[in-house]
Structure 1
Amino acid sequence: MPKFRRHHNRTHRVFYGWYVVAASFAILFLTGSASTIIGVMIKPIGDDFGWSRTSISSAIFVNMAVYALSLIITGRLYDRFGPKWVIAGSTVLFAAGFALMATMDSLWQFLLYYGVIAAAGFGGTTVPIFGSLMGRWFDKWKGLAASLALAGNCLGQFLLIPVFSDLIDGSGWRITSLWIAGLCGAVGLVLTLTVIRGDPGQLGLKAYGADSGKQSAMKKLGRAAAVVEEPRGAAAPALAPAAVAARPRDLTLLEAMRTPALWLYTFVMFVCGSGDNFVTTHLVPMVTDYGVSTSVASNMLAWLGLISLAGILVAGPVSDAIGYKIPIAITFAMRVVVFAILLKYQGIVPFWVFSVSFGFTVLVTAPLTPMLVRTLYGVTHIGFISGFIVTVHMIGGGLWAYLAGIIFDNTGDYRLAFWISLGFAAAAAVAMLLIREKRHLPKEGSTGTGPRADT
């Protein structure tokens, strides 16, 4: 192994992390479409079984709740064992859930197969895990790397949703479920087992840009900290306090919970998830309720996914330049505007405007969340802390998709759901601006389990 590592460092001109980016892109290309296809399946499944939107939305709520809980587990496993086996095991569960969906004939089976089994697989095969993975492989350009990897989620939704929609029309939702299971299972496992590596150190490498970043930091440290002179004959010189303070200990989740920033951002992500999943779940049925064809409605959902690619490609480099909270706050201000437009106007043109505009905001937080966590709390517990935050995001998404179904069944439309979403988006924009985007330090003497962290 040592010989291989030396040879690897000497001969590979392309940093291996870019192969990890490419593999992550391909996996997310498939899971991105699979995670949103349920919005196209709502009416066909409801027509086959006579289920209300509340009933179908209940399975989506269970799915998101289990997904949220699985993120905590996979985040912890990720920190302890690395992503390779977490992603591989999750891929098996994800594929099994969709394969079993093809056999279901009752609501409890839908709740189990899609709501529990597939959801458990989602936890290790979607955006949060891969965003954290980019944080391990890249020190420089980490925002760009995360954006490129997560772009697969958007392109998959854009290119595959129309294909799966046509397959549903031609062969039914059961055959479509089998295709999703086969593609995601086969491709995901092959790429995970052959390409994905959890840490540059496994190949004798360092994170991209780590050396240059360390050199820059040492130059600054050299100007700020002096070596304390010791009497002649002392064992070794000691660093001045400034040098010791330059390398703070990373915060644990419990310590992060004692800072206002975590709870502000957790609220923001709850709102983010509620808006994301509400729209991606109910957009197609809502638009078809106004007489738009299923094919056109599916294309709206597909374009929503494509435009979300533009959002994350812009967010990554911009965040590298100006930080994370301003881009995120702007996306929620945009949501206020697009929700207001949809409440004022209904029709095929307003629906297209809404789909494209909302799409730009959907995945902005995906690459930025682990990076913001790293900035605030350090890298040691990035998976666990990010998993907690995204867990709340998913619970918000599942709960609001379910409540929107109840609102529809009781009022006949989604207007009240959109009004509430507008108010939440405005509150999230304000909350984001209140976050102090700086490194949070543990209280002096803290070991990670006791005293309060710096706020």
Structure 2
Amino acid sequence: MKQLRIHPAWWAAAVTFLALVGAAGFRAVPGVLMDPLHQEFGWSVSTISAAVAVNMALYGLTSPFAAALMERFGIRKVVTAALLVVSAGSGLTVFMTASWQLILCWGVLVGLGTGSMALALVATVTGRWFVKRRGLVSGVLTAGGAAGQLVFLPLIAWVATTYGWRPAALGVAFAALAVAPFVVWLLRDSPADVGALSYGGTEADVVVPVRVGAGRIAIRGLVEAARARPFWYLAAGMMICGATTMGLIQPHFIPAAHDHGMPVTMAASLLAVVGLCDIAGTIASGWLTDRIDPRLLLLAYYVLRGLSLVALPVLFGPHVQPSMLVFIVFYGLDWVATIPPTMALCREIFGASAPVVFGWVFASHQIGAALMALAAGVVRDQLHSYDAAWYAGGALCVLAGGLSLLVTRGRARISVPGH
């Protein structure tokens, strides 16, 4: 087979990274637009948080079915369709006049679209295209999706403050739409489509897509994985991970900081720093996952995150103090550092079924995010402070660290259709 100067796996990874970043913009919007939506429509934090919760729940629940649809129809078709749905959901928000329309556009459409490009996409691409460097590549792709949500924040906050929230929403819709042509042009479903093998792989590593019964594959994957105890430990840990990142910090950090007198643009800039640090932290986590027991990494990530959340309430103020910067940098490094070791454990335990199984594990991540996004909004409305939410998140993280140590390594005896 002809040797290629740049292995096509790297092009597949590059386009996947671009798609994840392009779809991430709208997921950065909730924290920035809570105040503008409240001022224009009079909706409470709880009402807006309900739309965020629907978005996050569908984002996670769509993931395993998206992984199965990628098996059935191919990665390129699913990702292209998902980008178009995200763009439509974002753009249609400018016409809404009632809270149910917010839930439909912001919650349902964007939730379904971004869920189709969630971390199940990362698991599918790395599983098909890479044998060597899987941990590193999964870290880079995960960082792209997560960091994109936060790096967009200062720009969105500036546009929303200067021109209003509608131009901000339209800008994000265009960003998602602009990525679609690159996906159609460059993303291929498997190495065989370009006459190559996976990076560092042999003929024995070729993964044959399952072209029938996408829904059946997803449901059967859940039923079979649920028989293995490690699945429940990983899912519970991921639920807490989602609750303490996308559910708590992402939508509520900016309103909480604003409660203490900090300008929205400054708080958004701090979350952008979280996104930048997340890139380094997740790539480093992927590198470490190739070398260290993933369970020990998860223990460290969760416990340290919990301690930082407990300390957060005393760090807020109208100005950014050095202690807040330390929190921001640390939380950024830890933001989704949990994903590469969790993905590695899924591959080790569930083998070729790992993309679908990880889709369900990630679904629990987003269910946790949805529950916490709503709960924190209710806490703020009822207690006029987010403090109880930060403390609860810290306690949950310590629990997640303990659950990680209970995961037993080694292949589970399950059978998913097609594998």
Q: What is the Cα deviation at residue 360 of structure 1? A: 1.6
Q: Which residue of 1 aligns with 2:268?
A: 298
Q: Match of 2:191, as an amino acid? A: P
1:261 aligns with 2:230: yes
Gaps of 5+ in 2: 206-219
Report how far residue 176 of structure 1 moved: 0.9
2:158 is the alignment partner of 1:166 = yes
- Alignment partner of 2:202: what SS? helix
Residue 141 of structure 1 is matched in structure 2 by: 133
| 2:56 aligned partner | 64
Question: How far, CA to CA, are the matches of 2:160 and 2:251 in structure 1?
Answer: 16
Contact conserved, 2:63 with 2:119, CA < 8 A, in 1? no
Structure-2 change in CA distance of 1:448 and 1:405 (3 Å) = closer
Report the equivalent of 2:214: none
Tell me the residue number matched to 1:207.
198
Q: Is 1:184 the counterpart of 2:176 in the alignment?
A: yes
- Find the counterpart in structure 1 of residue 384 from structure 2: 412
Give the alignment of 1:239-278 within 5 angstroms: 252-277=221-246, 278=248
SS in 1 for 2:6: coil
What is the CA-CA distance between 1:155 and the residue it aligns to?
Answer: 4.8
Equivalent residue number for residue 210 of structure 2: none
Query: In the alignment, does 2:188 pair up with 1:197?
Result: yes
8 Å contact kept, 2:67–2:121: yes
User: What does residue 34 of structure 2 align with?
Assistant: 42
Letter paired with 2:131: D
Matched letter for residue 371 of structure 1: A
Q: Which residue of 2 aligns with 1:224?
A: none
CA distance in 2, matches of 1:143, 1:81: 26
Q: Kindly indicate whether residue 366 of structure 2 is the aligned counterpart of residue 370 of structure 1.
A: no
Question: Structure 1 residue 393 and structure 2 residue 384: aligned?
Answer: no
Partners of 1:111 and 1:22 lie apart in 2 by: 32
Task: Kindly state the Cα deviation for residue 105 of structure 1 after the two structures are TM-superposed.
Answer: 1.4
Matched residue of 2:316: which SS? coil
Distance 2:238 2:147 in 1: 23
| 1:118 equivalent in alignment to 2:110 | yes
Aligned equivalents of 1:19 and 1:341: distance in 2? Answer: 42
Query: Could you say which residue in structure 1 is the equivalent of 2:305?
Result: 335
Counterpart secondary structure, 1:10: coil
Could you say which residue in structure 1 is the equivalent of 2:258? 288
Residue 254 of structure 2 contacts residue 268 of structure 2 at CA under 8 Å; is this kept in 1? yes
Taking a change above 3 Å as real, the CA distance of residues 60 and 448 of structure 1, as seen in their structure-2 partners, is closer
Give the greater-gyration-radius structure (CA).
Answer: 1
Answer with 81-90 or 337-346: which moved more: 337-346
Equivalent residue for 1:243? none
Partners of 1:206 and 1:406 lie apart in 2 by 51
Q: Aligned equivalents of 1:66 and 1:151: distance in 2?
A: 21
Asked if 1:23 is matched to 2:47, the reply is: no
Aligned residues of 1:131 and 1:150 also touching (Cα < 8 A) = no
Deviates most, 280-289 or 432-441: 432-441
Aligned residues: 399
1:316 to 286, 299, 321: 286
How far apart, CA to CA, are the structure 1 residues paired with 2:147 and 2:245? Answer: 17
The question of whether the paired residues in 2 share the 8 Å contact of 1:376 and 1:438 is answered with yes
Matched, 1:359 2:329: no
TM-score normalised according to structure 1 size: 0.83
Aligned-pair identity in percent equals: 28
**Letter of the aligned partner of 2:168 in structure 1?**
T
Output the amino acid matched with 1:209: G
Equivalence for 2:124: 132
**1:260 partner amino acid:** R
Matching residue of 1:96: 88
- Mapped to 2, the partners of 1:51 and 1:308 lie a distance apart of 32
> Does the alignment pair 1:79 with 2:71?
yes
Q: 1:368 to 1:409 in 2, by over 3 A?
A: same
> Given that residues 234 and 342 in structure 2 are in contact (C-alpha distance below 8 angstroms), is that contact kept between their aligned partners in structure 1?
no
Q: 1:128 to 1:311 in 2, by over 3 A?
A: farther
Output the TM-score relative to the length of structure 2: 0.90
The one-letter amino acid of 1:50's match is G
Specify whether residues 200 and 369 from structure 1 end up closer, same or farther in structure 2 by C-alpha distance, changes over 3 A only: farther
Please tell me whether residue 383 in structure 1 is matched to residue 355 in structure 2. yes
Q: CA deviation at 1:260?
A: 1.1
